[in-house]
Structure 1
Amino acid sequence: MSIAKRIAAKRAEQERRFAEVEEWGEADQPLRLYFSPVAARDIERVQRKHPNFMSNTTLASMVEMIILKCEDEAGEKAFTLEDKPILMGEPASVLAKLFNEVFSADSIEDHEKN
């Protein structure tokens, strides 16, 4: 097996992670959003619209990454680009917290320990 194929197999084994967004929850339960680790292709995709994404991360680019990565528990996309205006109306602190969790999350097991 080539090194690239081993890397791809390892990536496929990586678990999804999640973030809990209390501000978006219902009935005193936070909204749980799932995502896989951010890959180079995800960054490239966001950089097409936001060329300085890595050096000058804007709220609009954070929202683009949230839309790209976040899923519900069943693995369906949580948001579409049509949701961007709604998300852009959310508090910057909520968006930044979710974005940071997407970029630097622990595994589900590590998150549940905390």
Structure 2
Amino acid sequence: MSISKRIAERTSTKTHIEVAEWGENGTPEKVYYGPLLAGELNRIQRKHPQFLNNASFEAMVDLIILKAENGQGEKLFTLEDKAILMREEVGVISTVAAALMSGSSVEEHEKN
């Protein structure tokens, strides 16, 4: 298998984070995402140049809009949802954005 095919296969792998605050009936919402790719980071940094050094909450919300998916691979949010996400609790946004940045679930980090 070529290197480019191995990269494509590896970067298509999805993981998830469970977000209790976004769930229903006591069941947390599963937010699926793949690793943060170079092109995606470039897209975020065009709008938020200091993203890697000093990420604003608006940048984190933009990352969530870009990366968050449901179990079927459909986007959970659109730009129309940005105003609602900007009114979410800081702790929820930072937790979800941190997971999306790391490419692994919070549960995996807690194991280490």
Alpha-carbon distance between aligned partners in 1 of 2:102 and 2:31, rounded to the nearest angstrom: 14
Q: Compute the displacement of 1:55 (Å).
A: 1.1
- What is residue 12 of structure 1 aligned with on the other side? 8
- What is residue 90 of structure 1 aligned with on the other side? 88
- What is residue 49 of structure 1 aligned with on the other side? 47
TM-score, normalisation: structure 1: 0.85
Q: CA RMSD in A?
A: 1.8
Given that residues 15 and 32 in structure 2 are in contact (C-alpha distance below 8 angstroms), is that contact kept between their aligned partners in structure 1? yes
TM-score, normalisation: structure 2: 0.86
Alpha-carbon distance between aligned partners in 2 of 1:79 and 1:52, rounded to the nearest angstrom: 23
Alpha-carbon distance between aligned partners in 2 of 1:71 and 1:62, rounded to the nearest angstrom: 15
Secondary structure of 1:75's aligned partner:
coil
Deviating above 3 A after TM superposition, structure 1's stretches of 4 or more consecutive aligned residues are: none
Structure 1, gaps ≥5 residues long: none
CA deviations over 1:5-55 (Å, ceiling 9, x no partner): 51x322322210111100010011000011110011111101111111111
